[in-house]
Structure 1
Amino acid sequence: MTAPASDAARTRGRLMLIALFVLFFGSAFGAGVLRFSGWMPAGLKNHGELLQPPVDLRAVSPRLASGGAYAWNPEARVWRIVAVAPAAGCDARCPQLLAQLDKVWQLFGHNADQVEVLWLGPAPDAAARLPEVRLLLDDPALRAALPRSADPAGIPLYVVDPNGFVILRYAPQADPAGLRSDVARLLKLK
């Protein structure tokens, strides 16, 4: 026969059970509060504006400046960065943006073949010499499909997934490093 537990041992056991309960359910409650308050770790936030719902471009058939049609081709798993230049023509910002997009594309390294840069509208002369840039003919239907494409502040950028859905928008003069990190994260998706 065992001796009954002392009051001190019983109290210590109860406190241990309460501490384990608070530790388990308190952390679950804290995580729930953070999740439903909208908090997200900085490493998981987009730099661009997430478009909800994504814009479906599959029905739009862009034309290349070289004369052919540009196919979305989802089997190729190519992500696209779309730059929408002002229809009235480019100013000094266009060559600067083109150089930044070229640098971003080069920083993708071995994943660069999974990213294309589409330039809609009048393009700087240097665009024809860059292998990643596909020059598109100015298409009013494509411009109308892209949210806030006629931004008076400059040239907005868009990220289009391999299926032809616009998922992110970057305001004019957005930091290209944010674009690079967002697309690099998307390239890791299979």
Structure 2
Amino acid sequence: MTTNQTRSRRSFLLVLLAFAAPVFVAWLILKQGWFTAGVTSHGQMVTPPLQRAEWRQQEWQNNWALIGICQRQCDDTQGYLQRIKTTLGQYQQRVVVLSVGEHAPAQLGQQLFWRSQLSNLPEQWAAAGTILIMDPLGHVMLTYPPLQGDAQLEQIAEQGKGVKADLYKMLKLSRIG
């Protein structure tokens, strides 16, 4: 073999390696489980979405609902969710903030509350501090577990950013409500 053929083969193998190596590395990463598929939602997706037809009959039926489950601290929950709603900008008119719980106030401003709906929720969502997002058709789409009692300000802010990001994305892509 001449040096010209050797050099030509070496160049061909280097070009082949340059294109094959990334494919092999990607395959290896996927096979070894080093890569987790990207999840774009911050909350827990409810599959299949839970239908809440009895909630849909209220006057806010054409709006998305940001629902806070509360036991004793309903005013705090209401204020927290109201601040999240305010950050939605142009989409905030499409969202209503609700509190559900045994000790929820009967009415506060234009917001609606229910005292008895807590018993209609699945057990894992009935904990105080749980946040639900419901579409205008009455389907609970996402849930956010309650923060622990000793939650730091950063954790609360992080959860709020996640709720806002998910709700904003759904409002932007939705053709209903």
Q: What is the aligned residue count?
A: 162
Alignment TM-score, normalising by the size of structure 2 = 0.70
Distance 1:21 1:40, change over 3 A: closer
- 65, 70, 92: which one pairs with 1:80? 65
Equivalent residue for 1:62, pick from 40, 44, 55: 55
Aligned residues of 1:81 and 1:160 also touching (Cα < 8 A)? yes
Q: Does 1:22 align with 2:21?
A: yes
In 1, the alpha carbon distance for the partners of 2:123 and 2:133 equals 12
Identity of aligned residues (%): 21
* TM-score normalized with structure 1 length: 0.66
Q: Which runs of 4+ in 1 moved over 6 A?
A: none
1:107 aligns with 2:87: yes
How far 1:72 moved relative to its partner?
A: 7.6
Q: CA deviation at 1:106?
A: 0.9
Instruction: Give distance in 2, aligned partners of 1:17 and 1:156.
Output: 54
Instruction: Give the unaligned 5+ runs of structure 2.
Output: 148-155
- Answering whether residue 132 of structure 2 is matched by residue 158 of structure 1, we say yes
What is the RMSD of the two structures over their aligned residues, measured on CA atoms?
3.3
How does 1:1-190 map onto structure 2 within 5 Å?
5-23=4-22, 25-26=23-24, 28-29=26-27, 32-33=30-31, 39-41=36-38, 44-57=39-52, 60-62=53-55, 69-70=57-58, 73=61, 76=62, 78-86=63-71, 91=72, 93-121=73-101, 122-124=103-105, 128-129=108-109, 131=110, 133-136=111-114, 138-139=116-117, 143-151=119-127, 154-173=128-147, 175-190=159-174
Q: For residue 66 of structure 1, what is the aligned residue in structure 2?
A: none
Alpha-carbon distance in 1 for matches of 2:125, 2:13: 64
| 1:176 partner amino acid | G
